[in-house]
Amino acid sequence: MSEKMSVYLDNSATTRQYDQVTDAMAEAMRDFFGNPSSLHRMGLEAEKKVRAARKSLTGAFGCSEEEVIFTSCGTEADNTVLMGAASSRRRAGKKIITTAVEHPAILEPARRLESMGYQVEYIGVDKNCRLNMDHLRAAITDDTILISVMGVNNEAGTVMPVSEIARFKDEYNKANGTQIWLHSDAVQAFGKIPVNVKKQWQGVDLISVSGHKIHGPKGMGALYVRKGLNIEPFMIGGGQERHMRSGTENTPGIIGFGTACDLAVANFEGRVAAMAAARQYLLDGIKAELKDVLINSPEEAGSEAGLCCPSVLNVSFLGTRGEVILHTLEQDGIYVSTGSACSSNKKGRSHVLAAMGLKDKEIEGAIRFSFSEFNTQAEMEYTLEKVKQAVTRFRRLGSFR
């Protein structure tokens, strides 16, 4: 019998904050509490810190400082794009294209826009959450104002074809004299796949990211807005963030986010390799040692479209209930998720797994394991053993096969 461990495998829900982030934030709260808008020395010191953090994000996006807007979370960044772009571009058209598997931070504003008279088309996916590109290409019309496609799906981990869509959108705009914007919710992609607008993500106009998915603080987000785009601001008031997001800056949060971003960028390859190794070990073990499982994520990990982001593995253990498996594993010190934790307060089956065509029983038995650079092989050996025990016991009690 192995000794009890604590294994955190819910990193798509949130991550453990880096100690360096906590230290930088504590220092900010203690020593840099001035208002960045104040004209005196303390204001200037705080402003300098905010500027340095903004620079950290520009490094990851490959953009300039005036193209980064700090927000209070990924949800705010997503809401700002949908509501703000729809409003500022209402004379250009009323059509928005997104996917059926977006996070509620996109789907809810999209539904609100529908109720306001906008037309929203939701593009479907296959059984591994790969986007139907033919459908997306056919959906684009001259009155389309915005396409919003996530970088990585939060439940299946599938990498979406953002760069391919960007190329197609640019060609369409050129050929038709339109100005369709492309937004990507990169909350799950950031820090795991490259999102540089000068390189891999050339042509992407707007990007949302969140601090707490990259070992940064909760309640921090950012938005890349390509220079020249005019988005109606969501928060109006004191005119901070170039009038794009009013409200006194959350300096400790911004400084913490910048620190997390620096660490993520500096050790990008090492971090991603550690996640990929943990994921591969668990995937191989589950396939070899358990029958009647459905691997819902694409099996191969990587940053290319259609592969799986190395941070996620979604598996249906047929003949079980994910919720029971989750609580059984919890007793062994292992923390996983049954679906998108961000929407766990909403009951019902996962809209992502349903859009992937999974049957109710397959959705019921689904578990999402999500990895970070801190996961070790010893943890995966322990997890595999406990998953096997939990699934076997449930199936025996439920007389499955």
C-alpha–C-alpha distance, residues 347 and 164, integer Å: 35
Stretch that binds ligand PLP, among 132-140, 181-189, 294-302, 367-375 (CB under 6 A): 181-189
Site string for ligand PLP, 295-334 (x = CB under 6 A): ----------------------------------------
- The CB-of-178 to ligand PLP minimum distance in angstroms stands at 27
Q: Give 167's contacts (C-beta < 8 A, 6+ positions apart).
A: 203
C-alpha–C-alpha distance, residues 401 and 74, integer Å: 44
Place of tokens 């020593």: 31
**CB half-sphere exposure, 221, CA atoms < 13 A:** 24
- Point out the catalytic residue in the list 63, 129, 308, 342: 342
Name the residue whose CB lies closest to ligand PLP. Answer: 74
- The CB-of-341 to ligand PLP minimum distance in angstroms stands at 7
Give the containing element (helix H, strand E) for 163. Answer: helix 162-176
Stretch that binds ligand PLP, among 39-47, 67-75, 114-122, 193-201 (CB under 6 A): 67-75
185: closest CA among 74, 304, 261, 57? 74
Which DSSP letter does residue 381 get? H
Contact (Cβ atoms closer than 8 angstroms) between residue 357 and residue 369: no
Residue from 210, 316, 338, 383 that binds ligand PLP (CB under 6 A)?
A: 210
- The CB-of-248 to ligand PLP minimum distance in angstroms stands at 19
- The CB-of-70 to ligand PLP minimum distance in angstroms stands at 12
Interactions with ligand PLP, residue window 73-112 (CB under 6 A): 73-75, 78, 103, 105
Place of tokens 């004379």: 91
- The CB-of-105 to ligand PLP minimum distance in angstroms stands at 4
> What sign for the dihedral angle of Cα 269, 274, 278, 281?
positive
Residue from 9, 162, 187, 231 that binds ligand PLP (CB under 6 A)?
A: 187
Q: What is the DSSP string of 214-274?
A: TTS-SS-EEEEE-TT-----SS-SS-TTTTTS-S---HHHHHHHHHHHHHHHHTHHHHHHH
Q: Give 233's contacts (C-beta < 8 A, 6+ positions apart).
A: 80, 84, 243, 244, 245, 246
C-alpha–C-alpha distance, residues 10 and 326, integer Å: 11
Active site annotation includes 342: yes
Site string for ligand PLP, 211-230 (x = CB under 6 A): ----------x---------
Site string for ligand PLP, 135-154 (x = CB under 6 A): ---------------x---x
Per CB under 6 A, 372 contacts ligand PLP: no
Residues that bind ligand PLP (CB under 6 A): 73-75, 78, 103, 105, 150, 154, 185, 187-188, 210, 221, 342
Catalytic residues: 342
